[in-house]
Structure 1
Amino acid sequence: MKATPFVEDAIYHAPEVVALRQDLALALRAAAHQGLGEGVCNHFSIALPGDHGLFLLNPRGLMWSEVKADDIVIVDGLGNRIAGRHEVEPTAMFIHAAVHNIAGKHCVLHTHMPYATALTLTEDCGLDTTLSQNAMRFHGRIAMDHEYNGLALAPEEGERIAHAMNGSDIVFLGNHGVVVCGERIDHAYDDLYYLERACQSQVLASSTGRTLKPVNPDLAARVASQMQGERVQSELFFAALRRTLGEPV
């Protein structure tokens, strides 16, 4: 769909949307810098403020390391490109639109990051949140979708993933990857980064062949509550990424 002057001027260039485009581009560049990307695949999105039914999405065909704020596109819930100069990758729409619209998530980050994806290949399908301290922050926040149905090339696949979340912030997709959601880009990105770190620790510990030592689930729940109750560290981390990587304008 060709962008109208009204959408282009009133929405795409509105100050709050420019700030969101900059933050989304920063998250993508940070993910590339920290080894969480995969070629030109996978997508980050965030709903626009207000009741527009629109969201920002990284475009098709660009490496995450090269994405700038002006590369981000606006799409509607049907996958129509409303504003922006790049095309949209179909599987992004089928997954992200459903998670936004059905699961009611504001920021949606989907990756095939290595260690989290490795755990989706196991019978358990995901992270044990009673192991490392990093894992405990996710206790009670994770869903597992054990059924892999191939590429998300139809709305039904995204809808199935959204329903499998069942209110959780994070879903491990069997034989596929992960989806991490949040109300803010900085909070969601912080979760994405530390989720991969937690998965890395579990994979490395398992590779020793030695017996793993989980903590009591009540303790894991307490640690999760402590970390969710104070997210300043997430905001400081994102600010540090902005300083070190530069503003993606």
Structure 2
Amino acid sequence: MQSVKDKVSQEEWELRVNLAACYRIVAHYGWDDLVFTHISARVPGPEHHFLINPYGMMFEEVTASSLVKVDLDGQKVMDSEYEINPAGFTIHSAIHAARDNAQCVLHLHTNEGVAVATLAEGLQPYSQQSTLPLSNLSYHDYEGVALREDEKARLVADIGNTEFLILRNHGLLTTGKSVPDAFLNMYFLQRSCEIQLLAQATGKDLIEVPAEIIATVQEIGAKATNNAFGGIAWPGILRKLDRDYPGFRA
């Protein structure tokens, strides 16, 4: 029987490995929510095809071969024994369809992310980590479980061209030009939420990062990573996964 690796291009297989790795590293940090959040990535090529996790599979179980390839309507375009979560793909397909630069869309329901999403003031400039999200952040109001087609237009309008989105009462979302970029964006957004809640819990007066510093963070971040951004950390993440969580490449 022909393997998935033998059925797809080298570019798609590399994407599958990176996306499976992203699921595994999210699970490593404890950011998964059983089987109820998603990370999607656009398959290289002219078709609008995407990879997303099999519904019901834990993030720590996802492999390159198990990822499901679908079109913008969430219909499978390659044989798979697995199905996908329609609510999950509603959010992802809307952003992928509207944004060519959103090659990867990462959505989580972490405790800290949902907590900050419930605060009227949202994310605050309390840490160095928060400066990157705050330089490129938008919000979307809660409309219930994301199953309605008409929410897509409002979601797309709210995210605009930003790479960071806080879904009110719901969770966090990041995009990126690659899987590593979307992951690093989420790493900073999640850490920002954790630090904010720790700081606010002290009940003490808090010092905010000046707005003029936030305005320069994109340029500084490019310099700090030699323009590699997520790619600067990704090889080390892959090595860690190969050591501690082997199997994602299968």
- TM-score w.r.t. length of structure 1: 0.90
Provide the residue aligned with 1:244 in structure 2: 240
Instruction: Pick which of 236-245 and 207-216 moved more.
Output: 236-245
1:156-191 per-residue CA deviation (whole Å, 9 max, x = no partner) reads 223321221011111101100111000011111111
Q: Find out whether 1:95 has 2:91 as its counterpart.
A: yes
Instruction: Note the residue ranges of structure 2 that are not aligned, 5 or more in a row.
Output: none
Q: Which moved more, 1:181-190 or 1:152-161?
A: 152-161
Identity of aligned residues (%): 29
Indicate yes or no: 2:144 matched with 1:142: no
Following TM superposition, by how much is the alpha carbon of 1:233 offset from its aligned partner in structure 2, in angstroms? Answer: 5.7
- Determine whether 1:117 maps to 2:114: yes
| 2: CA distance, partners of 1:155 / 1:200 | 32
- Report the secondary structure of 2:233's partner residue: helix
- Following superposition, the deviation at residue 100 of structure 1 comes to 0.4
Partner of 1:197: 191
Q: Which moved more, 1:205-214 or 1:83-92?
A: 83-92
Contact 2:222 2:229 in 1 (8 A): no
Task: Say whether 1:219 aligns with 2:219.
Answer: no
CA distance in structure 2 between the aligned counterparts of 1:162 and 1:91, rounded to whole angstroms: 16
- Pairing 1:64–2:59 present: yes
Q: Which residue does the alignment assign to 1:18?
A: 13
- Alignment: residue pair count: 239
Cα distance in 1 for partners of 2:200, 2:232 equals 32
Give the whole-Å Cα distance in 2 for the aligned partners of 1:219 and 1:88.
Answer: 42
Secondary structure (helix, strand or coil) at the match of 1:172 reads: strand
Q: Is the 8 A contact 1:44 1:108 kept in 2?
A: yes
Distance 2:217 2:91 in 1: 31
Whole-angstrom CA distance in 1 between matches of 2:157 and 2:128:
28
Note if contact 1:102-1:159 (Cα within 8 Å) is conserved in structure 2.
no
Report the RMSD for the aligned CA atoms in angstroms. 1.8
Partner of 1:174: 168
Give a deviation string over 1:16-40, Cα, whole Å, max 9, x none. 1011001000000000001111001
The CA distance in 2 between the partners of 1:209 and 1:121, in whole Å, is 18
2:154 maps to 160
Distance across 2 between alignment mates of 1:238 and 1:42: 21
- CA–CA distance in 2 between the matches of 1:115 and 1:242? 25
Change (3 A) 1:176 1:227: same
Please give the alpha-carbon distance, in whole angstroms, between the structure 2 residues aligned to 1:9 and 1:36: 28
State the shift of 1:239 in Å: 1.2
Deviations 1:72-92 (A, max 9, x none): 011001110112331011112
